[in-house]
Amino acid sequence: MTTASPGNQQAPAASPQELSGRFEQEFGTAPHGVWQAPGRVNLIGEHTDYNEGFVLPFAIDRTARVAVALRQDDSIRMLSTYGDQGTVTTTLGALQPGTAKGWTKYPLGVVWALRERGIDVPGLDLLLDSNVPLGAGLSSSHAIECAVITALNELTGAGLEARDMVLATQRAENDFVGAPTGIMDQSASLRGAKGHAVFLDCRDQTVRLVPFETEPAGLVLLVIDTKVSHSHADGGYASRRASCELGAEVMGVKALRDLDVADLEEAGGLLDEVTFRRVRHVVTENDRVLQTVELLAGSGPGAIGPLLDASHASMRDDFEISCPELDLAVDTARAHGAIGARMTGGGFGGAAIALTPMDSVQTVSEAVAKAFAQAGFTAPDIFAVSPAAGAMRVG
């Protein structure tokens, strides 16, 4: 079978049949099925999630696939086609938050979170194959978790709704893996649909699918992975959250989501300069998400370029979470034909996106690669993604 290598942007994921065949070779029995879940790109709405605001991610055409068989005993065996860690073996009884190492903490976290909900997940064998690039800000970890929870929800007959699966995977990430992430990534992966973006209200978790198709508009959504590693755990993220909480408290609202652009004048008088700029980013970003949703529905993706640009400027200048590599990627893409570009994800590294006319894709890609080389930066990975289906059974 083709071994998918998340580092190799061209590698296809193994077909469900190939994955089943490999599973049988490894574990000696056929799997009970094959499920997949995509990575995601956030089109717009950054650092709005924990301010109870709006985000607009979409599921991408890069997926994690898992072949799974439930067992009669409490053994767990897991293998990934990526890397060379071999089969990892453990038991249900050994599942403790913070103890799992390596990639298996994601599927094990899901098993743990389901069992914490009282769902009787037995031992299992699992084979993973993914072509979501790792650590590029495309949520390869949530793709794994969402594929696994979709599989286990069906195999155990738990019957969880998508919104419960979102919360269970959040629990797995927060309490088992130890990453303080929100609900955006798994909402996109579990609730996304082909040709649509997922308009998510992070306050009440309601979702509206918004038509978002790049190809009919003659556009391509390029991802530029700067290869600068990002980390949720560092102080930058925590200090931004603290500023947002302070801003909300001083302004007397539950969360920054409750402020409008019109409230910024008053905020300017009450907040210190830095806190004001942090607040201004969140408030204007929420507004840009709403405007993007409206423009996508009314005019299509060709109209949203200026909002992507404004989002980047706001993160660079007001929220101060960009970095030289992200700025160079965005500026170079814009200068060579992209109609809008912004950093995406939590910041301090990771990826930028550039909405690019089809006939400028080559020019933009070459110009960005060249600019990175000239600046002495690590060569970026540049590839196209399109809005794809959410998690599902495929075999």
Pattern 36-75, ligand ADP, x by CB under 6 A: ----------------------------------------
Q: Which does 212 bind (CB under 5 to 8 A by kind): ligand ADP, Mg ion, none?
A: none
Q: Which does 180 bind (CB under 5 to 8 A by kind): Mg ion, ligand ADP, none?
A: none
Residue 214 CB, shortest distance to ligand ADP, in Å, is 22
User: Are 42 and 150 spatial neighbours (Cβ–Cβ below 8 Å)?
Assistant: no
- 81's torsion region: left (phi>0), alpha (psi -120 to 50) or beta? alpha
Residue 48 CB, shortest distance to Mg ion, in Å, is 18
Pattern 105-134, ligand ADP, x by CB under 6 A: -----------------------x-x---x
Q: Say how far apart CA 24 and CA 67 lie, in whole Å.
A: 10
Residue 381 CB, shortest distance to Mg ion, in Å, is 17
Residue 168 CB, shortest distance to Mg ion, in Å, is 16
Which member of 135, 178, 300, 395 binds ligand ADP (CB under 6 A)?
A: 135
Residue owning tokens 């965005």: 330
Beta bridge partners, 317, equal none
Which member of 58, 103, 176, 372 binds ligand ADP (CB under 6 A)?
A: 103
**H/E element holding 295?**
helix 273-298
Q: Which of 254, 257, 309 is nearest to 283 (CA)?
A: 257
Based on the shown chain and the rule CB under 6 A, indicate whether residue 141 belongs to the binding site for ligand ADP: yes
User: Are 58 and 196 spatial neighbours (Cβ–Cβ below 8 Å)?
Assistant: yes
**Which is the catalytic residue, given 49, 125, 129, 185?**
185
Give me the residue whose beta carbon is nearest to Mg ion: 141
Based on the shown chain and the rule CB under 5 A, indicate whether residue 141 belongs to the binding site for Mg ion: yes
Q: Which does 12 bind (CB under 5 to 8 A by kind): Mg ion, ligand ADP, none?
A: none
Q: Which does 332 bind (CB under 5 to 8 A by kind): ligand ADP, Mg ion, none?
A: none
Backbone angles phi, psi at 235, to 5 degrees: -65, -25
Beta bridge partners, 357, equal 219
Pairing of strands 33-44, 54-70: antiparallel
Residue closer to ligand ADP by CB (options 31, 137) is 137
Strands (E), the chain: 33-44, 54-70, 75-80, 88-91, 124-130, 196-201, 207-211, 219-225, 340-344, 351-357, 381-385, 392-393
Q: Say how far apart CA 332 and CA 324 lie, in whole Å.
A: 12
Number of chain residues interacting with Mg ion (CB under 5 A): 1
Based on the shown chain and the rule CB under 5 A, indicate whether residue 275 belongs to the binding site for Mg ion: no
Of 13-21, 125-133, 136-144, 219-227, the segment contacting Mg ion by CB under 5 A is: 136-144
Q: Which does 135 bind (CB under 5 to 8 A by kind): ligand ADP, Mg ion, none?
A: ligand ADP
Q: Which does 103 bind (CB under 5 to 8 A by kind): Mg ion, ligand ADP, none?
A: ligand ADP
Whether 185 is catalytic: yes
Residue closer to Mg ion by CB (options 133, 305) is 133
Residue closer to ligand ADP by CB (options 141, 243) is 141
Cα 346 to Cα 245, 276, 360, distances in angstroms: 17, 19, 27
HEC profile of 319-347: CCCCCHHHHHHHHHHHHCCCCEEEEECCC
Q: Say how far apart CA 189 and CA 203 lie, in whole Å.
A: 18
Residue closer to ligand ADP by CB (options 142, 277) is 142
Token couple for 154: 């069906």
Residues that bind ligand ADP (CB under 6 A): 6, 80, 82-83, 102-103, 128, 130, 134-141, 144
Residues that bind Mg ion (CB under 5 A): 141
Q: Please give the positions annotated as active site.
A: 185
